[in-house]
A and B are shown apart, each in its own frame.
Chain A
Amino acid sequence: MQFKTYERPKCDRHSDTEGMRWYRLDLVLARIERHQRAVCMPKLKNPTRLTRREWLKRASKGAALLSVPGAASAVTAPQERTARPAPAPKHSEMRLLNDRPLNLEAPAHLLNDQVTRADRLFVRNNGLMPALTRADDWTLTFDGEAVSMPKTFTLKALKEEFEQVSLQMTLECGGNGRSEFDPPASGNQWTTGAVGCPKWTGVRLRDVLQRIGVQENAVYIGYYGADRHLSGDLSKSPISRGVPMHKALEPETLLAFSMNDEAIPLEHGYPLRLVVGGWPGSVCGKWLQRIRVRDRVHDGEKMLGSSYRVPCEPVARGSQVPDDAMCIIESMPVKSLITTPRSGQLCMVGRPLSIGGFAWAGDDAVKTVQLSSDFGATWQSAQLAEPVNRFAWQRFEYEWTPSKTGYFEIWAKATDVQDRDQPMVVPGWNPKGYLNNACHRIAVQVVA
Chain B
Amino acid sequence: MKAPLILSVIISIPWSTGHAATDIEMKSSQALMLKAGEGMRLVAAQCSVCHSLALVTQNRADRRGWTDLIRWMQAKHGLWPLGEFEAPILDYLAKYYAPTSAGRRQPLGMDLLPKPREDD
Taking CB atoms and an 8 Å cut-off, the chain B residues in 102-118 that contact chain A are 102-106, 108, 111-115, 117
Using an 8 Å CB-CB cutoff, how does the interface string of A386-414 with B read, 1 for contact, 0 for none? 00000000000000000000010100000
Say which residue of A27, A64, A407, A441 sits within 8 Å of B114 (CB atoms). Answer: A407
Q: How far is the CA of A100 from the CA of B85 in the complex (A)?
A: 23
On chain B, the residues within 8 Å of A443 by CB distance are: 108, 112-114
Task: Please state if A346 and B114 are interface contacts (CB–CB under 8 Å).
Answer: yes
Taking CB atoms and an 8 Å cut-off, the chain B residues in 35-89 that contact chain A are 41-42, 44-46, 48-55, 58-62, 65, 69, 72, 76-80, 83, 85
Task: Please state if A184 and B60 are interface contacts (CB–CB under 8 Å).
Answer: yes
Using an 8 Å CB-CB cutoff, how does the interface string of A67-102 with B read, 1 for contact, 0 for none? 110000000000000000000001011111111110
On chain B, the residues within 8 Å of A343 by CB distance are: 108, 112-113
On chain B, the residues within 8 Å of A31 by CB distance are: 49, 80
On chain A, the residues within 8 Å of B59 by CB distance are: 184, 186-187, 189
- Does A106 have its Cβ within 8 Å of any Cβ on chain B? no
List the 8 shortest-distance A-B pairs measured between CB atoms, nearest first: A60-B23, A445-B114, A67-B20, A100-B52, A343-B112, A182-B102, A231-B78, A425-B104
Q: How far is the CA of A60 from the CA of B101 in the complex (A)?
A: 35
Q: What's the tally of chain A residues with a CB closer than 8 Å to chain B?
A: 69
Q: How far is the CA of A67 from the CA of B62 in the complex (A)?
A: 39
**Interface residue ranges, A against B (CB under 8 Å):** 14, 16-17, 19-20, 23-25, 27-28, 31-32, 35, 53, 56-57, 59-61, 63-64, 67-68, 90, 92-101, 104, 107, 180-184, 186-189, 229-233, 236, 301, 305, 343-346, 407, 409, 424-426, 438, 441-445, 447
Task: Please state if A63 and B53 are interface contacts (CB–CB under 8 Å).
Answer: no
Contact flag A438-B45 (CB < 8 Å), given A64-B20, A188-B55:
no
On chain B, the residues within 8 Å of A445 by CB distance are: 114
Contact flag A20-B44 (CB < 8 Å), given A35-B49, A409-B108, A443-B112:
yes
Q: How far is the CA of A339 from the CA of B11 in the complex (A)?
A: 30
- Does B31 have its Cβ within 8 Å of any Cβ on chain A? yes
Q: How far is the CA of A14 from the CA of B58 in the complex (A)?
A: 20
Q: What's the tally of chain B residues with a CB closer than 8 Å to chain A?
A: 58
**Interface residue ranges, B against A (CB under 8 Å):** 6-7, 15, 18, 20-29, 31-32, 41-42, 44-46, 48-55, 58-62, 65, 69, 72, 76-80, 83, 85, 99, 101-106, 108, 111-115, 117
Q: How far is the CA of A398 from the CA of B77 in the complex (A)?
A: 48
Task: Please state if B20 and A27 are interface contacts (CB–CB under 8 Å).
Answer: no
On chain B, the residues within 8 Å of A229 by CB distance are: 77-78
Q: How far is the CA of A34 from the CA of B50 in the complex (A)?
A: 12
Say which residue of A59, A182, A233, A444 sits within 8 Å of B24 (CB atoms). Answer: A59
Q: How far is the CA of A438 from the CA of B32 in the complex (A)?
A: 30
On chain A, the residues within 8 Å of B112 by CB distance are: 343-344, 442-443
Contact flag A180-B52 (CB < 8 Å), given A229-B78, A443-B112:
no
Contact flag A64-B23 (CB < 8 Å), given A98-B54, A344-B113:
yes
Say which residue of A93, A232, A444 sits within 8 Å of B18 (CB atoms). Answer: A93
On chain B, the residues within 8 Å of A447 by CB distance are: 117
Say which residue of A20, A95, A424 sits within 8 Å of B15 (CB atoms). Answer: A95
Task: Please state if A17 and B117 are interface contacts (CB–CB under 8 Å).
Answer: no
On chain B, the residues within 8 Å of A346 by CB distance are: 114, 117
On chain B, the residues within 8 Å of A344 by CB distance are: 111-115
Residue from B25, B99, B102 with most neighbouring chain A CB atoms (10 Å): B25
